[in-house]
């Protein structure tokens, strides 16, 4: 990513030169609005306006973001900072704050501690937006040669020094030896106000060595994770676990996945977007939300209770998400040669007398489950997909199942058969095909679960590509229904 490509971020916000200068001042180390111990409720209106203008995200949505609690800890990633003046000024200013601490270290540790310090800041930008904590173990063994943290060039001493330098900006959640959780950290509200303007500045580099395909099985402790890196499949064992065998043929191979991902990521090299990172594909035998879906950090931005993602920019321009309606249900029905109605969830909600959110949640669970024994409470990480928290009763479940049985009996026969992970694979195939067709037309897009994230000027072409790929992959002569979401 170069300076020129990152400058595209601001072409859609129409910032005046005076506004840009004001923003730079607001982010400088001498500005009391940013550096005093305040929270967003006490932040001046001018400051919030500047941050909103900088990111294109409305003030009210930023306030909702900062109010949102942080979730579980995530591993840090190797990230970089684009060569943008205000971003570099912020990092230099924060490094200067801890000058005495760093100078007290021996020269070799000082260099590594500063590198660790900067990398932690870049990762904390991601944490601020995804509302996940940053996992950093305190044990010496976690940083031994060959460990994940050592691959990031972290040492126990460099992490300790960096955390000490960031002490006044972080909130620590102690680990739990019983659950094998390590210490994790979240930025306090003061620090979040500093990090939010770096939304378009931090990025994960895409190179020939980037692991674009990951094959793993979280349910099987004996499974050896396999990755596609470069142009060949690498594994520490001579075996290759192929995609789950579905009740229908999937002709696509991992090599085809790789070729399409390379094509897409090559096209995205010069694009600018929030938390920029390459698009990857992860195969996992987890629940319905994690089986073969395309992944990029942008998809983890909140967009229900705080409408952050839809208010970000692609190449400096406003975006839209072209979304496949009730996609897993629609694919399952299409495999029987039938088209599910556009208002499927609403029909079942009316027939059962239950809330639409409960219908949608239960249908997703039934498609992904291996058996009828399922929990009837939404998990914490599922809550953002729905408008309200809920726990379903057995009676409500029965009413919804009965309503689907009456109106769509062919659909019910596929529930509780562990087919969700297969549909995830097909969904990924559909998005890959659609994204590659758009690349051929000179249009970049990003995957958001079962939707395409595009510039608003490309909504029509994205709809056509997605519908065509869906029909082709399912072998039907009808198209899916789509919704278009805009800010």
- 279-292 pLDDT, tens digit per residue, is 999 887 644 445 68
Tell me what the pLDDT averaged over the chain comes to: 85
- Tell me the mean pLDDT in the region 93-121: 95
Exposed e or buried b for every residue in 465-482, given b needs 16+ CB within 10 A?
Answer: bbbebbbebbebeeebbb
Q: Is 474 helix (H, G, I), strand (E, B) or coil?
A: helix
- Tell me the mean pLDDT in the region 446-474: 97
Exposed e or buried b for every residue in 235-258, given b needs 16+ CB within 10 A?
Answer: eeeeeebebbeeeeeeebebeebb
In this prediction, residue 46 carries a pLDDT of 79
pLDDT at 29 over 50: no
> What tokens does 395 get?
């009676």
Looking at the chain, the whole-number percentage of residues with pLDDT higher than 90 is 66
pLDDT confidence tier of residue 41, bands split at 50, 70 and 90: low
In this prediction, residue 381 carries a pLDDT of 54
Give the chain's end-to-end CA distance (angstroms, integer). Answer: 27
Asked whether the beta carbons of 406 and 354 are under 8 A apart, the reply is no
pLDDT confidence tier of residue 42, bands split at 50, 70 and 90: low
In this prediction, residue 355 carries a pLDDT of 92
71-85, 227-241, 244-258, 384-398: range with lowest mean pLDDT: 227-241
Tokens 């009965």, residue located? 402
Question: Which neighbouring-strand residues pair with 284?
Answer: 216
Looking at the chain, the whole-number percentage of residues with pLDDT higher than 70 is 82
pLDDT confidence tier of residue 375, bands split at 50, 70 and 90: confident
- Tell me the mean pLDDT in the region 369-391: 73
In this prediction, residue 422 carries a pLDDT of 84
- Tell me the mean pLDDT in the region 130-138: 96
The CA-based angle 46-52-53, given to 5 degrees, is 90
DSSP run (H or E) holding 376: none
Asked whether the beta carbons of 117 and 98 are under 8 A apart, the reply is yes
Q: Whole-model pTM? A: 0.86
In this prediction, residue 224 carries a pLDDT of 67
Q: Decide which of 257 and 261 is more confident.
A: 261
- Of residues 171, 163, 167, 15, the one with CA closest to residue 86: 15
- Tell me the mean pLDDT in the region 408-412: 94
Long-range contacts of 452-456 (CB under 8 A, 24+ apart): 452/321, 452/322, 453/298, 453/309, 453/314, 453/319, 453/320, 453/321, 454/314, 454/319, 454/320, 454/321, 454/322, 455/314, 455/315, 455/317, 455/318, 455/319, 455/320, 456/317, 456/318, 456/319, 456/320, 456/486
- Tell me the mean pLDDT in the region 409-435: 91
In this prediction, residue 401 carries a pLDDT of 96
């Amino acid at each position: 990513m170069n300076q020129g490509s990152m400058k595209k971020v601001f072409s859609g916000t129409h910032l005046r030169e005076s506004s840009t200068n004001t923003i730079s001042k607001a982010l400088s180390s001498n500005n009391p609005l940013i550096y005093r111990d305040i929270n967003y409720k006490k932040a001046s209106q001018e400051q919030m306006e500047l941050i909103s203008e900088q990111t294109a995200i409305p003030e009210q949505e930023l306030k909702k973001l900062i109010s949102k609690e942080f979730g579980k800890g995530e591993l840090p990633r190797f990230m970089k900072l684009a060569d943008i003046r205000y971003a570099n000024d912020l990092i230099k200013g924060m490094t200067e704050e801890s000058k005495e601490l760093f100078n007290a270290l021996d020269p070799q540790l000082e260099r590594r501690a500063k590198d660790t310090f900067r990398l932690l800041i870049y990762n904390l930008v991601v944490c601020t937006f995804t509302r996940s904590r940053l996992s950093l173990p305190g044990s010496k063994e976690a940083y031994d040669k060959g460990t994940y943290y050592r691959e990031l060039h972290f040492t126990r001493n460099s992490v300790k020094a960096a955390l000490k330098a960031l002490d006044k900006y972080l909130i620590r959640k102690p680990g739990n030896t019983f659950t094998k959780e390590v210490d994790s950290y979240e930025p306090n509200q003061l620090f979040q106000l500093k990090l939010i303007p770096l939304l378009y500045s931090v990025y994960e580099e895409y190179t020939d060595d980037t692991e674009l395909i990951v094959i793993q099985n979280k349910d099987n402790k004996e499974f050896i994770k396999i990755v596609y890196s470069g142009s060949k499949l690498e594994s520490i064992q001579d075996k290759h676990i192929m995609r789950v065998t579905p009740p229908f043929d999937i002709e696509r191979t991992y090599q085809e996945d790789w070729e399409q991902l390379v094509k897409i990521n090559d096209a995205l090299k010069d694009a600018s977007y929030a938390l920029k990172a390459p698009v990857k594909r992860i195969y996992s035998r987890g629940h319905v939300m994690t089986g073969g879906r395309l992944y990029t950090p942008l998809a983890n931005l909140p967009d229900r209770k705080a409408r952050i993602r839809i208010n970000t920019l692609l190449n400096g321009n406003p975006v839209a998400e072209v979304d496949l309606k009730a996609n897993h249900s629609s694919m399952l029905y299409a495999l029987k040669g039938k088209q599910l109605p556009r208002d499927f969830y609403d029909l079942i909600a009316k027939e059962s007398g239950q809330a639409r959110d409960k219908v949608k949640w239960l249908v997703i669970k039934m498609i992904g489950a291996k058996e009828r024994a399922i929990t009837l409470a939404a998990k914490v990480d599922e809550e953002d997909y729905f408008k309200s928290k809920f726990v379903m009763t057995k009676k409500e479940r029965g009413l919804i199942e009965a309503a689907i049985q009456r109106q769509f009996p062919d659909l019910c026969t596929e529930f509780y058969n562990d087919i969700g992970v297969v549909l995830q694979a097909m969904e990924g195939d559909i998005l890959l095909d659609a994204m590659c067709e758009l690349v051929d037309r000179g249009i970049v897009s990003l995957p958001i679960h079962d939707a395409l994230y595009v510039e608003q000027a490309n909504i029509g072409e994205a709809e056509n590509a997605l519908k065509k790929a869906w029909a082709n992959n399912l072998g039907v002569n009808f198209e899916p229904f789509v919704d278009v979401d805009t800010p």
